Chain A
Amino acid sequence: MADLYTITNLHLSLPDMTRKPLMGHAPRLEILKGLSFAIPKGAVMGIVGGSGSGKSTLGRCLVRLLTPSSGEVQFDGTDITNLTDAELRPMRRRFQMIFQDPMSSLNPRHRIGTIIAAPLQLHGFDTIKPRVAQALDHVGLPRDFDQRYPHELSGGQRQRVGIARAIALEPDFILADEIVSGLDVSSQAQVLNLLERLVRDLGLTLAFISHDLSVVRRLCAQVIVLQSGVIVENRPTADLFADPQAHCTRELLDAIPLPDPDQVWL
């Protein structure tokens, strides 16, 4: 199958403001150190790593919220590495993002209907109302939820709104950055099952960033493991779990407490 994303030798460095001298430039801090991989169309790709490994930064390069220092990000045959904001704007509809904390990524003063409609208006869609209703249907929320405010919803419902906002634009690609880490297990299960179904029904390509390998195992076909800005493993999920190669993969697995009092863990 064709690749939706082709990433070649991606580097990113940011100025380290904590060590900036009074005069002159701040020293650069290397965050991504030459990543190369591809995401095939229709794939569910897991991106895992400990905190500070660069997984969110990588995600932000994919949807071009950050501009790489060097290397190339190709989206569906187009080089988007150095496109300007104006050039990116018409393309942004095609790659959407769902955020970790729905409470801070949904405007508390707007009703759910307005929140889902905003990107539709921005991208010049007509027939906005039916599209909002359809998006709510897709994520399993009642249509009259469009009149509610974010604070009236539970954590799981808020995260569904985040998903509805992303899929309303009929994107090709969705980046989900730690979208279930704030939820309790039962809402986690609901949101993940929903995502699994949407990927299948709508033919989406998904990159799923997480630090929790048990969630990744359930959802993703292929996993990239990052450690301090370098890819240490990029393998099919089943292989990775059968025989984790990198030390940091082992560490991430060992850190998960299994629901079993007999497992020696602490």
Chain B
Amino acid sequence: MMEQFFLLARQELVLTLVIFILLIIKVGSAEWSNKAIFNLVNLLLLINFVSGFLFVQDGMLFNEMFHTNRLIFTEKNILNLGTLIISLQAYDWIQQHKHVIEFYLLLLSTLLGMFFMISAGNLLMFYLGLELASIPLAAMANFDLEKRQSSEGAMKFIISSAFSSGLLLFGISMLYGTTGTLIFSELPQYLTGSDLQLFALVLLIAGFAFKISVVPFHLWTADVYEGSPVAVTAYLSVISKGAAVFVFVSVLYTVLKPLAESWYHILFILSVLTMLVGNLFALRQKNIKRLLAFSSIAQAGFILVGISGGSKAGMASVIYFILVYIFSNLGAFGVVAIVSALSGKENLDDYKGFYKTNPFLAWVMAVSLFSLAGVPPAAGFFGKFFLLIAGAGKGNYLLIVVAALNMIISLYYYLKLVKIMFIDRNEHEPIATLPVNIYPKIALLICMAGIILSGLISGVYEYIYAVSFG
């Protein structure tokens, strides 16, 4: 039993260990430099990532409260890798910041919460993980302590997050009321599709929709993304969203499978709305973080298309897309993080002539944007293609036409940014040539390698497909 516990929950245990080490350092008398903490945390995250590939097995702990299998290990690994990349990219910002330990404490707590949420086998456990994942995030959003916008964003985030948690809880309680159980494996047999259960389904989907910022529950996204420090924005748009999507897919495909007919229609409407609104609003943005915020809303719409497929291919394509999305979005955010930390510029117009002064960063940005737009040979092309094929499996070609049209709209604003960087000239003051440190550089190179290789090499997708179900 004890070895089982250490083996199955080791990813959570390592994170808890790091949290405790950080706490001890904090209360201890010795002053640790920012760099030492940075190195320590990243090393342990790397160990955690590597350990996720070893001795992978299925199992359950605590009366089905916690369960794990190859799929869940893969998902946690993806999130862990993303967090590591964000942490490496934030190097410049972390060096300047006064409260690095607190930042990492909060960051790792949210990650831990997401791990519990993914591994949950019971609605209570799931809710616990969700709260552990969202509350520290609000504090993190406020981490640019001098900026008013940052506080404003954090406030908006905590309110909307509390509201969505309320919706989820309401849904969970109704589900409990009609079925008499909270355990995932027992729920499906009691789901009959009664009115109350359908209402619970709507509430649950609304709660998730908040977390993955699906229209019409997206209103917090742009302001929070704009106000937060870039590392937190990246974390929100990639890791937090990714974790919520992972859970959403598994819950829909296992627990709520008897109601598939109903949620298919809801997802159809939500995905069309999300793609359209996200893309149309992105067209008008002037701030690069807001642009990426709306682009990430639009991407969520594509993810919903894949989820609506309701097949094994649907689940595999969604998980694969999250992986690709982590590489592509973090490539873009990595560049924004460096530029923002070293020059303080965040407007689109500031990037005019960026290629002249920073060719490496400009190429990284361009390749990431191409991947986000779904242009080959970047992995984003494969990700979108598979999502849409999975979505078309039900024979709903209208959804595919809408999605394909949206790819054109999104290409426009991604290309506009490429145009600004490569073609436009800057008369005023272009961003100076920025020194790129070794850690952010490694992170960006990981993203580039991921974008180019995880598509062309089919093994990545095939592995995810092998561990998926649906």
Is A bound to B?
Answer: no
Q: Give the A-binding residues of B (Cβ under 8 A).
A: none
Q: Give the B-binding residues of A (Cβ under 8 A).
A: none
